[in-house]
Amino acid sequence: MHKINQPLPSKEFTQTWKSAIQHIQKIAGKTNLIWLWKDLYPPFTVHLSFRIGNQLFLVFIETEEMRFNNSKTLFLNITNDANAIPCLMPIIKNGDEYKPELDGWGFKNPITNERVNPLSHVSEQPIIMTNWEHYNFAVDIVKDDLRKDGKIVTSVNVDSRLCPSLWFKDGNDMAWVIIKTIKYPEREAHKPENLELLIKKLSPHGNGYFASVELPQK
């Protein structure tokens, strides 16, 4: 179980994060870059993720406020689950602007310390979507539904091994959701074996829900 008490990022980090998105989009140019994760929710383990061709990239933006070593193990576990290229993006403040410390895309591999050029990792080889991608697709579906209902999503777990999957504000009350995926012809996802324990531990903090999301057929 995982209850998130991490404070919201500062205005400075939020601006840094926005500057990183603008930089990546500018460098990508006309490249077919598809954003998969571009929300700033706690816990701040993965700040951005995108796909180019057959490759997935997960980005951690490092600043004085947001140190990579504090999230290194979890970030690398998630990139491994997602079969993604890990990208560490150090950002520095230059006057009133926030710029990557490194040239080009601004990425380096946190394991090898080598520069990362996403385009050099793209190939024509088919790569099967991972369970991590399936899970985050389902999370996006639930997030969108909650927003349409006027709810305020306050935190999202990008790690499918953590429960609950997200927290949201329902009026003056907090609520949480456990999200699982299914594939046709399944009718409903299996609930966690420790569901009763989760309910016991999390119910004092808000109402709980279970969402079963069917993945699209190919």
**Predicted TM-score (pTM) above 0.75:** yes
Residue 150, sorted as left (phi over 0), alpha (psi -120 to 50) or beta, turns out to be: left
Strands of 207-214's sheet in order across: 152-156, 166-170, 173-182, 207-214
Q: Which CATH number fits domain 11-121: 3.90.920, 3.40.50, 3.40.1350, 2.60.40?
A: 3.40.1350
For the chain, report the end-to-end CA distance as a whole number of angstroms: 33
Architecture of domain 131-214 in this structure: 3-Layer(aba) Sandwich (3.40)
Domain 11-121 matches domain 131-214 at the CATH topology level? yes
Q: What is the pLDDT along the chain (218 residues), one digit of tens a residue?
A: 444 445 677 899 999 999 999 999 999 999 999 998 888 887 788 999 999 999 999 999 999 989 999 899 999 999 999 999 999 999 999 888 999 999 999 999 999 999 999 999 999 888 888 888 889 889 999 999 999 999 999 989 888 888 899 999 988 999 999 999 988 778 788 888 888 888 888 888 899 999 999 887 65
Domain ranges of the chain: 11-121, 131-214
